[in-house]
A and B are shown apart, each in its own frame.
Chain A
Amino acid sequence: MRHKPPVDLSAQPKKLIERVERRLFLKRGLSLGALALLSGCEMTEDETVQRVLRSISEWNDGAQALLFSPTKLAPEYPESAITRPFPFNAYYGEDEVREVDGNAFRLELAGMIRDKKPWTLPELYALPQTSQVTRHICVEGWSAIGKWGGVRFSTFLERIGADTTAKYVGFKCADDYYTSIDMPTALHPQTLLTFTFADQLLPPQYGFPMKLRMPTKLGYKNPKHIMAIYVTNIFPSGYWEDQEGYKWFGGS
């Protein structure tokens, strides 16, 4: 018998571990394949797949911003085309609509704004008013035509000395909703800070005391019950974007 060279004992467990690891790897690989076969759904919920989808979604937001024209106007309709009753929509039921006290209300301003003095409703109503009859399009697919009246948002931003070179305008709402938009959309001529619906004071279910109306964006981007407006370069995201993963740009 040949003399055995001294065995490096530390190599033994290493080999063993490798073998076990290999077996585990094969086992896992098999179960992964089985899982994929079991149901396409489970594979599509895979973390990597979702990551890829989300990055394509971000790219889509960029494509949407490129497609957005600051001068192209959304079609307007005759008043006879208004949908009645106009559908109520929120992340809660109609019986949970927040009531805001108009007398005590002050619109708060923050961020890159020169004059942050809070605004009362009579002060806002005294700004030059305009109206539009446009189509509200929900991300779910349905649409409804409504008439909103208020001040052009670009006029308001100018009045408060907002830095319009900033990237975002953010909104905080009385119903704990929040969202934000890009500056080019904020300055679009049809983007209105509205106080009326169908020529009546905005009812609570449509967003009293005010709703930002943008016919160039999907419904969920149009905040109701606005309590505070801020201008920022830090991405503020939005309620449905954070809850469900809807696209942030949400342009029409």
Chain B
Amino acid sequence: MAQAGRYTGAGWVEVHPRLVRITHWVNVLCIVIMVMSGWRIYDASPLFNFEFPKSITMGAGLAGALLWHFAAMWLLAANALVYLCYGIASGHFRRKLFPVTPRAVMRDVLGALRGRLAHQDLSVYNAAQRAAYLAIIACIIVLIASGLSIWKPVQLQELTAFFGGYEAARRVHFFAMALLVFIVMVHVFMVAIVPRTFATMISGRARRFE
């Protein structure tokens, strides 16, 4: 198979295009703000029998948290839109995230759990990575849609009804957050195991895999 990354000379390949790197880090900022302020908003009226410790939430009280949440949502949505349009139009998704089959995902997830997952060539995602990144994209789409349903249950009531009404949309919003946080934790853990992937998401380049 041909190298997925673009050759940039002197044994380096471009793994992550500039736009992917920018949207990735803007997304990190947005997700941190949205999740931490969201936890404070959750605490104002907990859905379940627990609260998030105030020390890991963001915003002074409910009103302060709402200010953060409703400010960062615009950046999150705009950034997601740019990323999705780019990913589809440029063929980035098609090249890097597909194909992904359940069988391959199972194989690579099991391989990762046994600590035997090859990730030498940073320009090619294994099936476990593809599934994780697609799941993050799906989570964020669901979070934005369910968030809009909670924010505007009258003006956007068709969307709210799609999630099964206001109270159901709140729960969808919560569980999509929980899944996203879980995947992000695994993602950060994997980066810690293969630290050169961190530098690659900043510089965009990786040593060519021979």
Give residues in A with beta carbon < 8 Å to B: 40-41, 44-45, 50, 52-54, 56-57, 60, 67-69, 72-75, 135, 137-143, 215-216, 240, 244-247, 251-252
Contacts and interface: CB of A to CB of B under 8 A. Distances in A.
Contacts of A68: 155
A44 B58 contact: yes
B63 interface: yes
A41 B170 CA distance: 26
B64 A141 contact: no
Interface string B52-94: 0000001111111011101100100000000000000000000
B68 A53 contact: yes
Nearest to A246: B63
A53 B155 contact: no
A44 B63 CA distance: 14
22 contacts: A40-B58, A52-B71, A53-B67, A53-B68, A53-B71, A56-B70, A56-B74, A57-B71, A60-B71, A69-B155, A73-B154, A74-B153, A74-B154, A135-B166, A140-B44, A140-B45, A141-B45, A141-B170, A143-B167, A215-B154, A247-B66, A247-B70
Contacts of A252: 152-155
B42 A246 contact: no
Given A67-B152, A141-B44, A246 B166 contact: no
A60 B166 contact: no
Contacts of A137: 153, 166
B157 interface: yes
